[in-house]
Amino acid sequence: MSEIKSNKISPATGTAFTFGDSGDTFTIPSGATIANSGTATGFGSDNTPAFQAYLSANITLPDNTWTKVLANTEDFDTDSAYDNSTNYRFTVPSGEGGKYFLYFYTIIYSSGGSSFVIVDTAIQIRVNAETDTTARFSVPNYDYGGASYEACSATGITELSAGDYVEFYAKCNVSPGYNSYLSGAATGHPTMVGAYKMIGL
């Protein structure tokens, strides 16, 4: 085994420098440090695709009816994979299958004349053609004593393939003659949905 010692190695021509050939292994011994002051590319992956979107305004819920969450304003969308104007769904881009962390947060408020009319609420995260009875993640909240609002959240990790899509649904059952709505930006606690690809799993 040969050893080369130098304070600097530069390419003879151009700007590219290649270490070894395909199949070679370079070992960094314990205690050594790789200090990067430039741009690193090709080293593993990050938590993308990723998106987060929220409701810009309150949305009234039909009583006791599953309603898709139309989160129309994006905080970020790294791969333009979330449709915030037509289908309101996140679609896994080509080549980006893997495990994803999904999340959904909302506050459902009562309205219509009384502040304590909510009977129960539920939210769901659905993948592809899942329904209210087959949803991947479903979280019910019961408040038989009545409430003026319910804070609801759902999270989960699931395997997704390229082309799979994720949608978010909510439902609220209120006393007869009243209604409810999903919180928008003006409430200070807007309904929020999101997802990101996980690494290392």
What's the rounded mean pLDDT across residues 101-127?
Answer: 89
pLDDT tens for each residue of 158-200: 999 999 999 999 999 998 888 899 999 998 999 999 999 999 7
Position 39 confidence tier, pLDDT thresholds 50, 70, 90: low
Does some domain include residue 42? no
Q: What is the pLDDT of residue 29?
A: 81
d(CA 167, CA 124): 8
Query: Is 23 within the bounds of a domain?
Result: no
- The token pair that represents 45 in the structure block: 């992956």
Residue type present at position 118: I
In a domain, 146, yes or no: yes
For residue 187, which of 105, 122, 119 has the smallest C-alpha distance?
105
pLDDT of 34 higher than 90: no
Confidence of residue 12 (pLDDT cuts 50, 70, 90): confident
| Range(s) of the domain holding residue 159 | 50-197
Buried/exposed 145-176: b ≥16 CB within 10 Å, e otherwise:
eebebbebebeeeeebeeebbbbbbbbbbbee
Tell me the β-bridge partners of 187.
none
> What CATH number has the domain bearing residue 100?
2.60.120.40
Task: Count CB neighbours of 87 within 10 A.
Answer: 13
Phi, psi of 187 (to 5 degrees): -75, -15
Number of domains in the chain: 1
pLDDT of residue 164: 98
Whole-structure pTM over 0.75, yes or no?
Answer: yes
Task: Grade residue 40 by pLDDT with cuts at 50, 70 and 90.
Answer: low
Predicted local confidence at residue 25, as pLDDT:
79
Beta carbons of 170 and 152 less than 8 angstroms apart: yes
> Cβ of 86: how many Cβ atoms within 10 Å?
7
Amino acid at 199: I
- Rounded to whole angstroms, the Cα distance separating 90 from 82 reads 4
